[in-house]
Amino acid sequence: MKTYKVDLRKVKPVNCTVMECTADRIVLQIPAEGGGILLSGTAGCVEGAQLSDYGWLWCDFYYPQEQMYATTVDVRFYREGQDPLTDAPRATVTTNAFPHYWTRLPYDFREITCKNAFLPRTPSKLKTTSSGVGITPEETAYIFLGARKSHRPQRFVFQNVTFSDAEPDYPLPDVKVVDELGQWARRNWPGKSRSVTEVVERLRREAAEPDPGPRPMFSRYGGWKEKNFGATGFFRTHYDGRRWWFVDPDGYAFLSIGLEFIFPEDSSVVTGWEKAYTWLPDRDGEFADAWKEVHGDPEMARRVGYCQVVSFPVINLIRAFGKDWKKAWCAITARRLHQWGINMVGNGEPARCPVQETCRFPYTAMMGEFPRTDRMIFRDFSDVFDPVFAQRAEACAQNLLRLKGDPYCIGYFLTNEPEWAYVNELCIAEKLVGHPDETLYTKAVFVDWMRERYHGDLEALNAAWGQGFTSFDQLKRPIPDACSLNDTVKADLEAFSYVMVTEFHKVPSLAARKVDPDHLNLGMRYAWIHNPVQVAGCEYFDVFDINCYDFDPVPQIELTGKLVNKPVMISEFHHGSIDAGLPLTGIKGVTNQEERGVAYRYYMEQAATSPYFLGAVHFVLNDQQILCNSGQENYNIGFVDCCQRPYDAMVAAATAVSENIYPIADGRQAPYDREPQGIPMIAT
């Protein structure tokens, strides 16, 4: 392996204090505002290393924080001519890492193009993402390593900052992280389960409690018995002159008070982490049901190729109920959902959600595979005018046949959080014209669209774009960063982006409607709306759904509802803390468990004041696992922990919301107005 080690005595500290420094090691005290070190150079050469000679940057990282929670490490890449202290980076790679645990952090230069939002897992590190518009090693002149804004000062140790021409190996510390119950072994907190016996006795007591059944105010589908708009046999939407509602199959007004992923387990990755477990069961025998193998495409989504996972929530259920563990879990969970006032299950079709075997709840579903073309324009944005896109959309829509005739199905999502839209203010047409493939079908449509836009006048095009094209067909040649040419180019590309996104939405929507005319098309579950182009083609949806991670969702609901002139559903939100045995807050952070309950109630009851709001689904039922699930997350965002113990504050908040949300939505009652105490997110 060819390597080039950075001399850390020569790097520039940025908004931090250097506590110790040698050529190989630097210790930084970083304020809550964030800071780190800057590696500097010229285009393609950083700290004396010619980046074209290397494919990787890596370092060893240590986080000696007294308070036991994970941290977030940012590595930011800048072009020559940028000011790294003030300008937005071209690419940022963000990684979570455990405290008091040596972690080797690798950065593959193929990933800084930001082709993918998620990076593959490597041993000992936690979830890693990339963001930005992308950069190449040849363009890179500055690299920042350090911390983003946090809720308190932090101490970082970087060691062996190295460029190499191959992926490094991954030495693993022999440190036990997970106890026999699946909890964080190295930390204590109020409510931590102390023994197998304690967990078993508590679960058996709860299993003996009777199920109160649905709230008397709810219809059999969870709708509000005080308003009826007429039965049709399936869920639909209705505007009553004042606000939008879902309407359940029996005609009752319905707002989603939902929980997502109501499964017995969240599983913990074992592959690469074996030394971190205090105890693991045999893969056969008593705890065989707790083991699974995950197979995926390492080039797509969460970048998981293969891993073995184990579920401590299932292990703890087996300890309590033996072979009847799933039946017991279903009974306990159905009772809990009724008691808490939860009226629907996100992504909870019967084939995926065991509790539906015990008691039916309304649910949403995913269409299944979303159509992709062989050549992609950017991330998961297909060459949408390729005939293959329509053909594959029709094939994907066949997945909806499984929902046929089920009145408990509210509707389906076409996909989840398209990754192309993770880039704020992205101009997708700019990615099209910058694409090296001149034979893309969408490029041909763009050329015809531009010819019509400029009335076939090539001179007018050249004058507007500042180019010397000899034909309109030369627009097929790659033009990098075209929006930066001038305002007219940017306006043209933004206008064609609407054409592209409309097609992206229209084609699968029409295919889905043909297969399933009875259930609602709930849209794409966009992570957030940062650009009006994302709503292009919304006329093909029945509901415009978003995932909204805020304390107060009303501004995002109102913005979206007014853009689309349709009702809005929220399919994901949560608020997490670091005081109950998990190292990361999730996407929105609060100070403690009490504030998680405050945040949940404030979010739901404020949202109910918007006339566009159809309800929301909390993500998720179960806390994620200390060493991450196969989706690379380990957040404190559940209603229950890994020992199947509910969080009292979340239960109390959900119970209050279920009693209040309909009167609030109907204008009869004021919403809860205590704002939660937030902290910067500790997650990626």
Per residue in 388-425, pLDDT (tens digit) is 999 999 999 999 999 999 999 999 999 999 999 999 88
Q: Quick check: 399 and 369 in contact, CB under 8 A?
A: yes
Report whether pLDDT(460) > 80. yes
Supply the DSSP symbol for 113.
T
Which of 138, 161, 148 has its CA nearest to residue 90?
138
* Rounded Cα gap, residues 216 and 522, in angstroms: 28
DSSP SS3 for 585: coil
Mean confidence (pLDDT) of the chain: 96
Confidence at 387, pLDDT banded by 50, 70, 90: very high
* Rounded Cα gap, residues 161 and 195, in angstroms: 42
pLDDT at 451: 98
* Rounded Cα gap, residues 470 and 677, in angstroms: 61
pLDDT at 311: 97
* Rounded Cα gap, residues 342 and 316, in angstroms: 24
Half-sphere exposure of 471 (CA within 13 A, CB side): 5
> What DSSP assignment string belongs to 349-372?
-TTT-GGGGTS---EEEE-SSPP-
What residue ranges of the chain are covered by domains with CATH 2.60.120.430? 3-164
User: What residues does 27 pair with on adjacent strands?
Assistant: 20, 157
Length of the chain: 684
pLDDT at 389: 98
pLDDT at 298: 82
pLDDT at 265: 86
pLDDT at 128: 95
Q: What is the mean pLDDT of residues 191-204?
A: 98
What residue ranges of the chain are covered by domains with CATH 3.20.20.80? 196-361+543-679
Report whether pLDDT(179) > 80. yes
> Please, is 487 exposed, middle or buried when counting C-beta atoms within 10 Å of its C-beta (0-12, 13-18, 19+)?
exposed
pLDDT at 630: 87
Report whether pLDDT(621) > 80. yes
In 454-592, where does DSSP find H-type helix?
A: 458-465, 487-515, 554-564
* Rounded Cα gap, residues 282 and 288, in angstroms: 7
pLDDT at 602: 98
Report whether pLDDT(301) > 90. no
Confidence at 121, pLDDT banded by 50, 70, 90: confident
pLDDT at 85: 95
- Contact partners, residue 607, CB within 8 Å, separation at least 6: 553, 554, 557, 570, 613, 616
Q: Which residue has the higher pLDDT, 300 or 292?
A: 292
Per residue in 221-273, pLDDT (tens digit) is 999 999 999 999 999 999 999 999 999 999 999 999 999 999 998 899 999 89
Residue 177's H or E segment, with its range, is none
Report whether pLDDT(50) > 90. yes
User: What residues does 45 pair with on adjacent strands?
Assistant: 42, 50
Supply the DSSP symbol for 302.
T
Q: What is the mean pLDDT of residues 482-504?
A: 98
Q: What is the mean pLDDT of residues 662-677?
A: 98
Question: 102 to each of 185, 525, 556, how far by Cα in Å?
Answer: 17, 37, 40
* Rounded Cα gap, residues 396 and 178, in angstroms: 40
pLDDT at 300: 78
| Rounded (10°) CA dihedral 530, 531, 535, 537 | -150
pLDDT at 124: 87
Q: What is the mean pLDDT of residues 462-485?
A: 97
pLDDT at 482: 98
Per residue in 338-373, pLDDT (tens digit) is 999 999 999 999 999 999 998 999 999 999 999 999
Supply the DSSP symbol for 184.
B
Sign, CA dihedral 179-182-185-191, equals negative
Q: What is the mean pLDDT of residues 179-202?
A: 97
pLDDT at 299: 79
Which of 459, 483, 453 has its CA nearest to residue 471?
459
Specify the residue for token string 């072009």: 79
pTM of the model: 0.96
CATH 3.40.50.1820 fits 196-361+543-679, yes or no: no
State the helix-helix crossing angle for 648-665 and 325-340, rounded to 10 degrees: 50
* Rounded Cα gap, residues 70 and 156, in angstroms: 12
DSSP SS3 for 136: coil
pLDDT at 305: 86
DSSP SS3 for 678: strand
Largest CA distance in the chain: 82
Question: 663 to each of 277, 451, 605, 658, how far by Cα in Å?
Answer: 49, 55, 10, 10
* Rounded Cα gap, residues 619 and 616, in angstroms: 10
Confidence at 304, pLDDT banded by 50, 70, 90: confident
pLDDT at 303: 84
Select from 2.60.120.430, 3.30.43.10, 3.40.50.300, 3.40.50.720 the CATH code of 3-164: 2.60.120.430
Q: Quick check: 258 and 618 in contact, CB under 8 A?
A: yes
